[in-house]
A and B are shown apart, each in its own frame.
Chain A
Amino acid sequence: MSSTHLRHYWTAFRTIVTKEVLRFARIWVQTVLPPVITTALYFIIFGGLIGERIGEMEGYRYMDFIVPGLIMLAVITNSYSNVVSSFFGSKFQRHIEELLVSPIPNSVIILGFVFGGVARGLAVGVAVLLVSLFFSPLSVHNAPVMLVIVLMTSILFALAGLINGVFARTFDDIAIVPTFVLTPLTYLGGVFYSISLLPEFWQGVSMLNPILYMVDAFRYGSLGHSDFPVAMSFAIIAGFIAVLYSVALILLNRGVGIRS
């Protein structure tokens, strides 16, 4: 591949990401504000009111324990929903054709949408982090682990959102996965509790949930506590990213949902 091609692809990538960022920034009342308000309510109700009665979790104040999980919850849902709604919207209004007629490789289209989703995930994650400072002091045990885990997690769920968007034919289709798959997995992924509290059988079941490892590794980066080795979490997330990226690329190359 020549340097001219690489320059063109870089410009195309930046264009898609810029477009995606401007898209969610224009409608920040719908995209950024609601998760911040919802998470603030979690902090007040679960962390503050109920958490006071729970006491400590794994040696930490309950409020401090749930902060990393709630940040990850916001990152996961926003990375996912940004890409699924943007990609499906571009199919619905047919402006996906702007990309399909242009000489952009499918890999660049995927990366453009994914990093648009990452941008929203991180923007909301930072907003939630700032809100959390009203309730809990900022705790950083290992900043690089925190940053890399949050970045990889948002990439993973942005890819998942893209695949959902490829298959979606109606607005219902883009709501089903977040409602019936993503939300249960996230809530059961150790956001509000340590899995050591669960009976052995349910601990085993929980270990099939990839979100558990993301929340756990992020919590390690913040508090220094983890239920699993951080390296294992990295490996699992990287594996999922590789699989989902490959699936997304195959789907786009075959034109599933976008070409007759």
Chain B
Amino acid sequence: MTPALEIRGLKKTYKNGFEALKGIDLEVAPGSFFALLGPNGAGKSTTIGIITSLINKTAGTVKVFGHDLDTDLQAVKRSIGLVPQEFNFNNFEPIGEIVVNQAGYYGIPRREAWERCEHYLNELGLWEKRKDMARTLSGGMKRRLMIARALVHEPRLLILDEPTAGVDIELRRSMWDFLTRINTDGRSIILTTHYLEEAETLCRNIAIIDDGGIIENTTMKQLLAKLETETMVLDLSEPPPGLPEDAPVALRQVDELTLEADIRRGQHLNDLFRVLDQAGIRVQSMRNKANRLEELFIRMTRNGQSPSHLTPGASGASEQPENQA
């Protein structure tokens, strides 16, 4: 099946000599919900800029549903909808016109454009505000406006660059539901986000980019399986009489009513709770200290470490996220 996105040897060197992309290869299957993660300045936005033809590449090839960026640019553009990181609409234009004009740029007649505009603004809860100037919208509404604008020409590939930045939790979850729904309908989605919980919840495939190169490209399931150690936080109902010396995991007291336990892959929580019970420690609740993907992400992208550091047997104190700078 033709990939939704196929990138080979993509390089970008800016005029000031900064090498933003050092020859990346990337493939996104059609219909997938794909996370492209990386720290600030890693090359995510440059990659998206090149795919959407906002940035000129230095070398390499980009194909979208088989259409080559160099030889079939119009078809590439028709296939893509972009929700950029920064607000990039005219603040002094009514939001209905912003969406309808975008449809017009794709050759969609005005009457049909208004029908589509109504559909997507309704889906995203903005239709009642269609006559309002964009500058009057809240941050969350502006994000949703950009999603409606990106979808109005019915692209097969939707690229979202930090779509939920600055959006409150309730709205973020409603946006997740919406994105999941349009992905289920068959639209391929590429997502960059700093909310790793978001990537873990939504995406089935993931690539991590750091320092201009792809350092991981796999399924979310396989990536999370690489997590060697998870830190669990135990909230106690009363101060512990003392920490058991024979605990099967590394255990430490954070404050009067909180313990942290490092659980290695393959260890059973039952063993831990048995020891805690024998020591007279009463656990009221338990949670992950950090999101699992977040733990992996921090380890993989810091100091250019390769994924091999995540393999079993390579664990150690220096790999604990809370101990690293």
> A residues within 8 Å of B by Cβ?
7-9, 11-12, 14-16, 18-19, 22-23, 26, 89-90, 93-95, 97-104, 255, 259-260
Contacts and interface: CB of A to CB of B under 8 A. Distances in A.
Contacts of A19: 93, 97, 101
Contacts of A18: 101, 104
B78 A94 contact: no
Given A15-B104, A19-B93, A259-B54, 6 more contacts: A11-B104, A23-B92, A97-B54, A98-B98, A103-B106, A260-B49
A8 B106 contact: yes
Contact of B109 (A9, A11, A26, A103): A11
B176 interface: no
Contact of B92 (A26, A94, A255): A26
Given A12-B105, A103-B77, A98 B54 contact: no
Contacts of A94: 86-88
Given A15-B101, A93-B88, A101-B80, A8 B14 contact: no
B105 A97 contact: no
A98 B107 contact: no
Contacts of A93: 88-91
Contact residues of B: prevailing secondary structure = loop
Contact of B56 (A12, A99, A102, A259): A259
B88 A95 contact: yes
Contacts of B258: none
Interface of B: 14, 49, 52-56, 73-75, 77-78, 80, 82, 84, 86-93, 97-98, 101-102, 104-110, 149, 153
A98 to B, nearest CB: 6
Most chain B CB within a 10 A radius of its CB, from A14, A94, A95, A100: A95
Contacts, number: 85
Given A22-B97, A97-B54, A15 B84 contact: no
Contact of B14 (A16, A95, A103, A260): A260
A103 B78 contact: yes
Contacts of B87: 94
A103 B74 contact: yes
A260 B20 CA distance: 12
The 6 A-B residue pairs whose C-beta atoms are closest, nearest first, are A8-B107, A15-B104, A102-B105, A94-B88, A103-B77, A103-B74
B212 to A, nearest CB: 15
Given A19-B101, A103-B74, A259-B56, A97 B106 contact: no
Most chain B CB within a 10 A radius of its CB, from A11, A15, A19: A15
27 contacts: A7-B107, A9-B107, A11-B107, A11-B110, A12-B106, A12-B107, A14-B104, A15-B101, A15-B105, A16-B104, A89-B90, A94-B88, A97-B82, A97-B84, A98-B101, A98-B105, A98-B149, A101-B53, A101-B77, A101-B82, A102-B102, A102-B105, A102-B153, A103-B78, A103-B107, A259-B54, A260-B14
B82 to A, nearest CB: 5
Contact of A255 (B56, B73, B80, B91): B56
Contacts of B110: 11, 15
Contact of B77 (A14, A89, A102, A259): A102
A101 B52 CA distance: 6
A95 B105 CA distance: 13
